[in-house]
Amino acid sequence: MRILIVEDEHRLSNIIKKGLVEDGFAVDQAFDGEEGLYLAETEQYDLIVLDIMLPKLDGLQLCKELRRENVKTPVLMVTAKSTTEDKVAGLDSGADDYMTKPFSFIEFRSRVHALIRRSHQEISPVLKVDNLEVDPLKHSVKRGGKAINLTPKEFAVLEFLLRHKTEVVSRTMIVEHVWDYNFDGMSNVIDVFVVSLRKKIDGGFPKKLIQTIHGVGYKVDN
């Protein structure tokens, strides 16, 4: 899953980025409102972390503009403003949740995961297909109750496939949601990850969960 942080305090932005990257997210940063709006409109994010007080374009205007353009990406506002009026203004601009600085990363992380779940209409924090269980909060994968070890990127690819289970997902979609802006490889790098994922997930099981849809991409299905 890929996150955009729009925050002009470089230090805070870098701390949030570090925590999210350690949690397996692909993360891009924008340091003013205009850059944030541009990235939010042109790239594919699963969540936007948005400060209110920003140079060039403030977070409230940015959020309103995104919603006006029908960009549905969940927005978590993070700001030093803490009055009820500020929170109401944030949510009324189209944000989905609101946190006041300073905040604990543990709470922030829980909210990030909850917002992403909600945007995919998922009720359980554990993603399931057949006897495969993927827990994004614990970074654990089990098939038939047996733990499977994945690299962070293998995990991210599998998580994306499960969040779109029963849908055909193209290689480009996977790249756009699993790698950050600096990725300059080819989308066929995905094939390499899928080969190793298949060995670990489907190896030894008669039922194969990761299907190749020729000329299109991949699908995970029951």
Minimum CB distance to Ca ion smaller for 14 or for 131:
14
Closest approach, Cβ 62 to Ca ion, in A, equals 12
Q: Which residue is nearest to Ca ion (CB)?
A: 53
What are 120's two structure tokens? 């995919």
Minimum CB distance to Ca ion smaller for 5 or for 156:
5
Closest approach, Cβ 61 to Ca ion, in A, equals 14
Sheet with 2-6, edge to edge strand ranges: 26-30, 2-6, 47-50, 75-79, 97-100
Whether 220 contacts 165, CB under 8 Å? yes
Minimum CB distance to Ca ion smaller for 35 or for 154:
35
Closest approach, Cβ 34 to Ca ion, in A, equals 14
> What is the spatial distance between Cα 66 and Cα 119, in angstroms, rounded to a whole number?
16
> What is the spatial distance between Cα 123 and Cα 113, in angstroms, rounded to a whole number?
12
Strands 75-79 and 47-50: parallel
Closest approach, Cβ 79 to Ca ion, in A, equals 7
Minimum CB distance to Ca ion smaller for 53 or for 126:
53
Residues at the interface with Ca ion (CB under 5 A): 8, 51, 53
